[in-house]
Chain A
């Protein structure tokens, strides 16, 4: 394709000569080296190795995405603003290739920085990556009651690994008692426990039964408080899968930046993309903060049903809650491309990133969302009037 590669390499060369490549590269390397050494308290729960891959790579990821977004916007917007558009638009390569060239340049730089981050991370971590574990939860959804002196089948089953549980008691009594961990393999282990604390124990494999002596009843939330962690492959493979997800996100962010530059004028385009990145990075936080105090999704749904029940409610007292919920869901879906595949924290924590999820990301993020944004961006770019000086 005439024009795509020269324009891509031109963007990289400009970034190199302006010092951006080196500045971001240094910042990325510093994030991988320095941040993990500063971690303390809860941030160090998983050890220094986990901090390299969660904190270090997390900050590097934020830097890379921001730099790619700025570069992708800048590539096209600067051509227009500084007047080079008159030169490029009158060359025969066409606007599609022009757009693709700038997108590719930003994406290649992003991938280069990503490779640098992973390389520095491997050096700092001595080539080690936390081994991947898979979490298995009990199939029940209702809280599991453990009456005193009765063996309860939890339904949780899996190969050897580690068992983590958190116990509560309706009485609120936090006195110590005995808990026996029973396996269908015949192994059993008694530990002294107190409610309202998290316990971890080796798990020999099989199906889990629990027996307790000390309280009238204990309760476990099987979806959250009863987890079996079993080995699930090497850390290197997990790292590779996370890197593939990050690379797909880089391609998407570059496409989003170029699309914004094609549709909007310079400062607006940059502002829009940075706002999107901020929203995506904080999607879970924004999502929950937009939720009305104490209101659960079920309650909101119930409000919706009341409005349709045939009675005259006037202005529904819940309408604003629905607006907030709509905003929350809309914001969540708009930033889906980033927060859905945000797996750096899992890498540090050793949680398995399944191959199926990477495949899903390739289809959904790579083929669907990135291509959709690119097509929309190119269509807008082709319609854009590029008169010299109209951006100044």
Chain B
């Protein structure tokens, strides 16, 4: 697996007007991303996730350390063409339509994808000719995703990609991330939604107070609890009693069966699919 991104001892100290250090936002962070990996960047507010991402993109200069993206220093024009970025805030030009926004950004890219196809991919075809200022937060997020995919990037950096999206949109985004990873795109996903990261990521990096406090594969980090879940279909009271008796005889302890809920998100998605005839 070829290396797509490497950060070595990445440090960023913010200073005040007089040059006095005020806060060390990122402190000696080192990690790397291989081709086709989906890696989650986790951490509470103020952990240094966004500052790290900005350094990887060349928007901020590291106080110390280096970051190499696709073989070049971060922010190098040659690599920008191969990096897609979805910022945490969907900041577009409110007077432009969605189509115009993508066409403008496509004009800045050497080999842009078709804006119309991207709009269709993120479900914005119907709103393509509306001004972005009139978009809902979720629509703006979808447009952000489309612009991140404009140059068919090899590395995609997504900062809270599902923020503001409804459950259907979140599911679509997760599916899209899966498709992109399958196609070989490396993805760095910064998110607060741990379940989401767990669903799509191969590895996670956990930042706390600017330091990398944990890194590794999900199975490696989460480990096993020593417990086993055995989903069963609905049983008659007699059948359930026989199963519990057999388990009790095997383990020597009492166990309490709990009904398995499908969860609100699954219920909502089923309902929407049923009502819309899908």
Which residues of A are at the interface with B, using a C-beta cutoff of 8 A? 2-3, 5-7, 10, 13-14, 17-18, 82-94, 97, 385-389
Chain A residues contacting B105 (CB-CB under 8 Å) are: 87, 91
Given A92-B78, A385-B61: A18 in contact with B95 (beta carbons within 8 A): yes
Q: Do residues A3 and B59 form an inter-chain contact, with CB atoms below 8 A?
A: no
Could you tell me the distance in whole angstroms from the C-beta of B130 to the nearest C-beta in chain A? Answer: 14
Tell whether, in the assembled complex, residue A87 and residue B80 are in contact, meaning their CB atoms are under 8 Å apart. Answer: no
Interface residue ranges of B11-64 to A (CB < 8 Å): 50-51, 54, 57-61
Interface size for B (C-beta < 8 A) is: 33
Residues of B within 8 A of A89 (CB): 57-59, 75
| Alpha-carbon distance A2/B151, docked complex (angstroms) | 14
Please determine whether A84 and B92 come into contact, CB atoms closer than 8 angstroms.
Answer: yes
Q: A86-B57, A90-B83, A92-B151 are in contact. List 14 more A-B contacts (CB 8 A).
A: A2-B110, A6-B103, A6-B107, A6-B108, A83-B91, A86-B59, A89-B59, A89-B75, A91-B105, A92-B80, A92-B109, A97-B108, A385-B59, A388-B88
Cα–Cα distance between A91 and B93 once the two chains are bound (Å): 16
The smallest beta-carbon distance between A22 and chain B, in angstroms, is: 14
Which B residue sits closest to A89, measured CB to CB?
B59
Chain A residues near B107 (CB, 8 Å)?
2-3, 5-7
Inter-chain CA distance A5–B81, complex, in Å, is 18
B147 within 8 Å of A (CB atoms): yes
Q: In whole Å, how far is A84's beta carbon from the nearest beta carbon of chain B? A: 5
- Answer whether residue B104 sits at the interface, using C-beta atoms and an 8 A cutoff: yes
Across the interface, which residues of B come within 8 angstroms of A385, CB to CB? 59-61
Q: Which residue of A lies closest to B77 (CB)?
A: A94
Alpha-carbon distance A88/B81, docked complex (angstroms)? 12
Q: B95: which A residues are within 8 A, CB to CB?
A: 13-14, 17-18
Query: By the criterion CB–CB under 8 Å, are B104 and A6 in contact?
Result: yes
How far does the Cβ of B69 sit from chain A's closest Cβ, in whole Å? Answer: 11
Among B54, B78, B108, B109, the residue within 8 A (CB) of A388 is B54
Asked if A92 and B57 make an inter-chain contact with CB atoms under 8 angstroms apart, the answer reads no
Would A91 and B59 count as touching, CB distance under 8 A?
Answer: no
Find chain B residues with CB under 8 A from A6 CB.
103-104, 107-108
Residue B96 CB within 8 A of the other chain:
yes
Measured CA separation A97–B110 after assembly (Å)? 13
Closest 8 CB pairs between A and B? Answer: A83-B91, A6-B107, A92-B81, A92-B80, A91-B108, A93-B108, A3-B108, A17-B95
Q: Which residues of B contact A94 (CB under 8 A)?
A: 77, 80
> Can you give 22 contacting A-B residue pairs, CB < 8 Å?
A3-B108, A6-B107, A13-B100, A14-B93, A14-B95, A82-B91, A83-B89, A84-B92, A86-B59, A86-B85, A87-B105, A88-B108, A90-B59, A90-B85, A92-B110, A93-B108, A93-B109, A385-B59, A385-B61, A387-B54, A387-B59, A388-B50
Cβ of B87 < 8 Å from any Cβ of A? yes
B87 touches A91 (CB 8 A): no
Decide if B83 touches A389 in the complex (CB within 8 Å): no
Assembled-state Cα–Cα distance A92/B107 (Å): 10
Task: Give the distance in Å from the alpha carbon of A83 to the alpha carbon of B92 in the complex.
Answer: 8
How many Å lie between the Cα of A18 and that of B77 in the bound state? 32
- The CA of A262 and the CA of B87, in the complex, are separated in Å by 22
The answer to whether A2 touches B108 (Cβ under 8 A) is yes
Using A14-B93, A387-B60 as known contacts, say yes or no to A86 and B87 having CB atoms under 8 A apart. yes
Given contacts A86-B59, A387-B60, A388-B54, contact A91 B109 (CB under 8 A): yes
Measured in the bound complex, the distance between the Cα atoms of B91 and A5 in whole Å is 22
Q: How far is the CA of A3 from the CA of B59 in the complex (A)?
A: 19
B91 and A87 contact, CB distance less than 8 A:
yes
A90 touches which of B57, B78, B91, B93 (Cβ 8 Å):
B57
Chain A nearest CB, measured from B4 CB (Å): 16
- In the complex, which residues 139-154 of chain B have their Cβ closer than 8 Å to any Cβ of chain A? 147, 151
Of A5, A84, A97, A387, which is within 8 A of B93 by CB?
A84
A5 to B85, CA, bound (A): 23
Taking the nearest CB of chain A, how far is it from the CB of B204, in angstroms? 23
Complex-state Cα separation, A386 to B78, whole angstroms: 19
Nearest B residue (CB) for A78 = B93
Contacting residues, chain B, for A7 (C-beta < 8 A): 104, 107-108
Q: How far is the CA of A84 from the CA of B147 in the complex (A)?
A: 12
Which residues of chain B come closer than 8 Å to A386, judged between CB atoms?
59
A17 to B94, CA, bound (A): 10
CB distance from B100 to the nearest CB of A (A): 8
Given A13-B96, A92-B78, A385-B59, A87-B110 contact (CB < 8 Å): no
Do A388 and B87 touch (CB < 8 A)?
A: yes
Residues of A within 8 A of B61 (CB): 385
CB distance from B102 to the nearest CB of A (A): 11
Contacts of A90 in B (CB 8 A): 57-59, 80, 83, 85
How long is the Cα–Cα vector from A97 to B59 in the complex, in angstroms?
Answer: 16
